[in-house]
C-alpha cells in the first residue's frame, strides 16, 4: 500500500525567512503525481503545487518550490520569503492510477506551520 | 464559480440518527470522492466515484453509504451515526485527467453525541 510520511508535525519560521517541509512516500509505481495542499484556519483545502513523477524538473509556483528526489522517494516543499498568510496546515499527497480511470489521493498526516512576525 | 459545494457546514447528531451530507459540483467533473479528516490522521478516503452510477469503497468505508445518480451530485449517507464518526468531512472532485489534483469543498464539521 502506498504511504505518505510527514515527519514534522509542527514547524515555525520567522517572517521573510525560508522554511522547508519534508515529505517521503512509499510506492512501487513509476507513474504518479505528488501534491502539496495548504489548509488555513478557514478549513479550505488549497492546492499549492504539484509534481509529475516523470518530470525531473522541480515544480515552482511563485514563492513555493519543491525538491523532488524520485529515487529517494522524497518530496519536500520550500517556502521562500515566508508571510503571515502562509501559516496553515500543509499536507503532502500522492496520487496514482489505481484502475478504472481513478487517481485517488493518499495524504500524509500534515505539518502545522506557524509564521512568527 | 461555485466549484464544489458542501452542505451543511456544521451538524450535531445524536448517536443512532441518520443524515446525508450533500456535495455538488458544477465543473462537469467525472471523479468525486469523500474524505474524513481527524486530528493527527490527515485525510482518509471513505468512498469515491468515477462517474454516474459507479461507486467504490476507499480506506474507511464502514458506516457510510454513497450513490451517484448524476454527474453533479455525490451525497454521503450516515445510516446510524456513532461517536467515532465525529470528524470533518470533505468532498472533492476532479476531471478525467488526474494531473491537476482535486478541487475540495469547504468541509462539514460533524459532531455525534
Query: What single-letter DSSP state applies at residue A70?
Result: T
Burial (CB < 10 A; 0-12, 13-18, 19+), residue B15, is: exposed
Cell numbers linked to A99: 484502475
User: B3 vs chain A: nearest CA distance in angstroms?
Assistant: 12
DSSP B61-90: -TTEEE--SSSSB--EEESS--GGG-EEEE
% of chain B with per-residue pLDDT over 90? 83
> Which residues in chain B are contacts of A44 at CB distance < 8 A?
104, 106-107
Q: How far is CA A24 from the centre of its chain?
A: 10
* A73 pLDDT above the threshold of 70: yes
Query: Does the beta-carbon distance from A97 to B33 stay under 8 Å?
Result: no
Predicted pLDDT at B99: 66
- Mean pLDDT throughout B97-106? 81
Query: Does the beta-carbon distance from B99 to A33 stay under 8 Å?
Result: yes
Average pLDDT in chain B: 93
Chain segment B18-76, per-residue pLDDT in tens = 999 999 999 999 999 999 999 888 999 999 998 999 999 999 999 999 999 999 999 99
Query: What single-letter DSSP state applies at residue A9?
Result: S
Residue-wise burial string across B92-102, b where 16 or more C-beta atoms lie within 10 A, e elsewhere? bbbeeebeebb
Backbone angles phi, psi at A38, to 5 degrees: -110, 135
Amino acid at each position: 500500500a502506498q504511504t505518505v510520511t510527514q515527519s514534522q508535525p509542527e514547524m515555525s519560521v520567522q517572517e521573510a525567512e525560508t522554511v522547508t517541509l519534508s515529505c517521503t512516500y512509499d510506492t512501487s509505481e513509476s507513474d504518479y503525481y505528488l501534491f502539496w495542499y495548504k489548509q488555513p484556519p478557514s478549513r479550505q483545502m488549497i492546492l499549492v503545487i504539484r509534481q509529475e513523477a516523470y518530470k525531473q524538473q522541480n515544480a515552482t509556483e511563485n514563492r513555493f518550490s519543491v525538491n523532488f528526489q524520485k529515487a529517494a522517494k522524497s518530496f519536500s516543499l520550500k517556502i521562500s520569503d515566508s508571510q503571515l498568510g502562509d501559516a496553515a496546515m500543509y499536507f503532502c499527497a500522492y496520487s496514482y492510477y489505481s484502475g478504472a480511470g481513478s487517481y485517488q489521493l493518499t495524504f500524509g498526516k500534515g505539518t502545522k506551520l506557524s509564521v512568527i512576525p | 464559480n461555485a466549484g464544489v459545494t458542501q452542505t451543511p457546514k456544521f451538524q450535531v447528531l445524536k448517536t443512532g440518527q441518520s443524515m446525508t451530507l450533500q456535495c455538488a459540483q458544477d465543473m462537469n467533473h467525472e471523479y468525486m470522492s469523500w474524505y474524513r479528516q481527524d486530528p493527527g490522521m490527515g485525510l482518509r478516503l471513505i468512498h469515491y466515484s468515477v462517474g454516474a452510477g459507479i461507486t467504490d469503497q476507499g480506506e474507511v468505508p464502514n458506516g457510510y453509504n454513497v450513490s451517484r445518480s448524476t454527474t453533479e451530485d455525490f451525497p454521503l449517507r450516515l445510516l446510524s451515526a456513532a461517536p467515532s464518526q465525529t470528524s470533518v468531512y470533505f468532498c472533492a472532485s476532479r476531471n478525467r485527467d488526474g494531473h491537476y489534483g482535486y478541487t475540495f469543498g469547504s468541509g462539514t464539521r460533524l459532531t455525534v453525541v
